[in-house]
Structure 1
Amino acid sequence: MKKKILVLMENTGSPQKALKEGERLAKKDSSELHVLIFNTNQKEIYELEEEQTYVLAGDIGGEEVAREENTIKDIENKDAERTDNFVSELKRVVSTNLIISYVTSSIKSDVVTYSEENNIDLIILGQDEAMYSRRSFDSLIKHVVNKTKADLLVIK
């Protein structure tokens, strides 16, 4: 019996199969369902921040930097709205003990840290190409298996 279940999801709502399985198991065992939400635009923001660092190192005026900063803020604002809508929908459809948190740095480290800090018994990962490539998904699985005490369930 699992008391605490963690599902990793994008703020766009994928992968649905992992959430459904997490909810089914949480209901069955009266468990807490933890949803760790990954910001889908995080990669795009990191890439812009890397470009911005390059621009700052170059000989380009402040106007170019300000435009880059506004682009990052626009992405963050759009993403915050998407995430708020996703969380509202999640709370509406999930009928079990639901705890929501967010990936703040890297998926690997946050899944492991969250799992350990919250004594998670089961981690459910759904394969979704928008969140990670096949290679990074394999890497995430290996990392979770090697760095956590939790069981791992992978949903195709």
Structure 2
Amino acid sequence: MALFGHKRQASRLAPELDDVALGRVLNGIAAARGPGPQDLAIAQVEWLLRATGDDWDRRCHRVGVLAQAAPALARGWRERRLRDPDALLLATWSELATDPRGALALCRVAADARPADPTPWVGALAALRLLGRPSSELSPAWQGITRA
């Protein structure tokens, strides 16, 4: 609908919401091109996830946004640091849209790498949902979330 001859634009909700640090890292990722800048972007993502500490809700949101914004960066980080819990976690979430079975397998590895973090189990629930698995298969993932 036009008001005074101007078209209304739909408001855009930024994926980082009110997370200023996440917004800065997203801007850094967008600016990174080539191997050198990608190393810097990985370092920024690593710092951001480490700085989140045990704020599991914020961590889950950050991982979800970063996974969508930079799947190639997530794969590159994991290839460089195969056992790093944060690299595993981001790779897991980046695989959800393209390979939920692979993501489910990575969820288990990420959960083993940092048992106190429920975020891999949230990813497992998402993968199971995408695969259309029955509710009986959701229980282990839910137990992983509540146990962490």
TM-score, normalised via structure 1 length? 0.27
Identify which of structures 1 and 2 has the higher relative contact order when contacts are C-alpha pairs closer than 8 Å and 6+ apart.
Answer: 1
The structure with the largest helix share of the pair is: 2
